[in-house]
Amino acid sequence: MRNDTILILADPAEPQLRQLEKSLAGVNIIAGNSAEVLAPAAAHATVLFNWSGSLVLFRKIFGNCPNLRWVHSRSVGLERTLFPELLESPVPLTNGTGVFSASLGEFVLAAILYFAKDFRRLIRNQQAGVWEDFEVMPVSGHTVGIIGYGDIGRAVAARVRPLGMTVLAVKRHTLPLGGTDPMVEQTYSPDRRLQMLSRCDYVVVAAPLTSETRGMIGEPEFRAMKPTAVVINVGRGPVIKEEALVRALSSGRIKGAALDVFDQEPLPRDHHFYKLDNVLLSPHCADHTPDWLDQAMEFFIAQFERFRKDEPLLNVVDKKLGY
């Protein structure tokens, strides 16, 4: 078995590092969040794991590792990871796809029910001591459209289909009507997304941020939506044109939005989203279950076992596509 060296960009005090050292006893593991700590071992590193390091540090250390055979990113989103040197390198890159999808699927389901049952109104009335009955909407028979039908999109579909909801999806590679995915009624290519959006009661954005998806949902897309539509973003903030979303929400062009990701994070205190009562905000923590970091480390440990046995790695990123 090879004598591998893992460089991990992380605060050495992170508790998950104890989990790593225990599981991979005997493997040379060097953790740090500065070039001074990591650089001396870079020449011998075969694995580079960006747990929580900055892009600047990641890029610098990568450039000092001539013997790398694998790079892993804890994050699923790679828009701040794919710097030119890594893009051009033959070294495979993997990410955390799938680790957090179940929790994000649950957040989407919660957001759908939040708007359908008008939980904001219930809470407001309860706090004011007001007894006021009102109509609520069913979700059965309504349609969920998913922009970016990857692992998160499938987690969403698996949770809304049992409620009797119809699922539509936008993805690069479409399936014929009644295709092989039993959860999706119909898939659309990205250039036909307006057609799909016009059918949707809930629009779930789960696409990665790439040159093709940046600003994918803007004024034309909001005009195509029903006035009763709710937008739920669990992908990346800039996939939606934020100013267009604010206008659509403020004018009543759409019913509401549930957002876990934003153009700027933390969201500035004076942002319009805070003032809109048809917005549900999550501070990019919809997947932060008590064990989310443990799960992320467990996934890396399982990946490393595949790596040192020369088995195919999971979640190999197409660096040209960005996911």
Reading phi first (left if > 0) and then psi (alpha if -120 to 50, else beta), residue 171 is in beta
For the question of residue 236 being annotated catalytic, the response is: yes
Radius of gyration over every alpha carbon of the chain, rounded to an integer in angstroms: 22
Mention every residue, 6+ apart, whose C-beta is less than 8 A from residue 84. none
Nearest to 256 by CA among 284, 225, 220: 225
Q: What are phi and psi of 321, to 5 degrees?
A: -85, -30
110, exposed or middle or buried, with CB in 10 Å at 0-12, 13-18, 19+? middle
> Tokens 């399982």 — which residue?
302
Measured CA distances, 54 to 25, 48, 283 (Å): 27, 13, 20
Q: Which residue(s) pair with 93 in the sheet?
A: 71
Measured CA distances, 144 to 16, 22, 109, 111, 230 (Å): 37, 43, 10, 12, 10
Catalytic annotation, pick one of 265, 288, 305, 311: 265
Catalytic annotation, pick one of 59, 284, 298, 306: 284
For the question of residue 74 being annotated catalytic, the response is: no
Mention every residue, 6+ apart, whose C-beta is less than 8 A from residue 11. 31, 33, 52
For the question of residue 284 being annotated catalytic, the response is: yes
Catalytic annotation, pick one of 72, 236, 242, 308: 236
Q: Which residue(s) pair with 168 in the sheet?
A: 145, 186
The span from the CA of 201 to the CA of 226, in Å, is 7
- CB count within 10 Å of CB 265 equals 10
Positions annotated as catalytic residues are 236, 265, 284
